[in-house]
Structure 1
Amino acid sequence: MTPPCQRSGERRRMVDQQIEARGIRDPFVLAAMRDVPRHLFVPQPYDRDAYADAPLPIGNGQTISQPYIVALMTVLIRPASTDTVLEIGAGSGYQAAILSELVRKVITIERIEEVAALARANLAAVRADNVEIILGDGTLGYPPGAPYNGIIITAATPEIPGPLKEQLAEGGRLVAPVGDRILQELVALERHGVRFTEEHHGGVRFVPLIGRHGWED
């Protein structure tokens, strides 16, 4: 990862006021949020608001999530340095960049070619060399990389896609916004054999997950 030289004061304030103040205490996640230059993942002219407490458009009808939500979803999968994590919906690459500082490998799937190209360029710019971008239907997961210690779905799904549950490792955790196209609840699953325990972490709003096991385009 490149040194976080530019706008570092804004990142510190973002973490202090938006993330740590809301109860997130994991020191490694907080450090990653301070290190990764979020403004490089937000296209102009929205980059001036990159450290605001809000999601922002990145083009093609997609958004970069609110910083707090990125931190919360990261904490909920309980990342470890030896983990392989699957992300569904690369967006501009910011969530993958955060994960890249915390785990061994990140595989992120993006269905829109232009968005995948944006993520690829952004991740190369910050030298996130342990991230692999796959172009395809994220609801199918990516069996060649399975099983995954963590899975993050960064788009609204009517239910957790079966293939993703199957690709989750024993003891692994999956986090997703589950609901309709307007409002969802952030759900975290943990796998125990064929059984999954479930936690709920409040209401959220994401763009819809398009694919065979998601919403129709």
Structure 2
Amino acid sequence: MSTIDYAKAREVMVEQQIRPWDVLDPRVLDVLASVPRERFVPAALRNLAYTDIALPLGHGESMMKPVVEGRALQALELAPGDDVLEIGTGSGFLAACLGQLAREVVSIERRADLADTARANLAAQGVGNVNVITADAFSWENSRRFAAICVTGAVATIPARFVEWLQPDGRMFIVRGRSPAMEAVLVRNASGSPRIESVFETDLPYLAGAAPAPTFEL
């Protein structure tokens, strides 16, 4: 049985998938070239860790494609002193990347088993500045404000409560719309008034509770 050279696979992913998709921020590229994605992928899928596909995590949830993760990290323009909120921990991989780019990460995951696995994955990699909380984003009691928010599942419309968690100069990466024509956007809370910038088109599974109401066609 052949053994995959994960370091080489990581380098190829960055150079052949992520950089050609206009991810050019050197800090983001360095993080994606150094965080071992294979350690966050379910064991049975480890050989697919660096492929250009979303990987299932159970419960209908998945890890985003590496290119989408790269674009999200770049769009947030994180500074080393930023505090970040991640909505949807999943495997913990993106939280680990956010943790390298920012001061502290609070990551919420509604599935207790996914949260437990993410905590174990992060601990195994020595990531000490990510706090994974088991909670539902739509009922989570939070009074804290963050410099940046990264939402890893799609929404039909941007929830007002997410925007309220931004600092006055904060920004949020989120994917909105109806599948399959969704739009990744950056919400800037400039002077306390949200401004939305389109980043790219994509298609993600919805956050639980954030799907559009079903429409009935005759």
**Is the TM-score greater than 0.5?**
yes
Distance 1:204 1:140, change over 3 A: farther
Report how far residue 118 of structure 1 moved: 1.2
Report how far residue 140 of structure 1 moved: 4.8
Report the counterpart of residue 85 of structure 2 in structure 1: 86
Report the counterpart of residue 204 of structure 1 in structure 2: 202
What's the TM-score, normalizing by structure 2?
0.90
Which of 129, 145, 148 is the aligned partner of 2:146? 148
Report the counterpart of residue 139 of structure 1 in structure 2: 138
Aligned mates of 1:119, 1:208 — CA distance in 2: 20
Q: How does 1:1-217 map to 2 (within 5 A)?
A: 7-140=6-139, 143-144=142-143, 146-211=144-209, 214-215=210-211
Report how far residue 152 of structure 1 moved: 0.7
1:146-169 alpha-carbon deviations (Å, 9 max, x no partner): 211100111011111111101101
SS in structure 2 opposite 1:139? coil
- Runs (4 or more) in structure 1 with deviation over 6 Å come to none
Report how far residue 62 of structure 1 moved: 1.1
Aligned mates of 1:210, 1:183 — CA distance in 2: 19
Which one has the largest radius of gyration?
2
Query: Is the 1:90–1:96 Cα contact (8 Å) retained in structure 2?
Result: yes
SS in structure 1 opposite 2:101? coil
Aligned mates of 1:210, 1:56 — CA distance in 2: 18
In structure 2, give the amino acid aligned to 1:76.
Answer: A
Aligned mates of 2:139, 2:160 — CA distance in 1: 8
Aligned mates of 2:130, 2:203 — CA distance in 1: 26
Aligned mates of 2:140, 2:103 — CA distance in 1: 18
What's the TM-score, normalizing by structure 1?
0.91
Q: Which runs of 5+ in 1 are unaligned?
A: 1-5
In structure 1, give the amino acid aligned to 2:172.
Answer: L
SS in structure 1 opposite 2:77? coil
Q: Which runs of 5+ in 2 are unaligned?
A: 213-218
Aligned mates of 1:135, 1:152 — CA distance in 2: 16
Query: Is the 1:109–1:138 Cα contact (8 Å) retained in structure 2?
Result: yes
RMSD: 1.8
Count of residue correspondences: 209
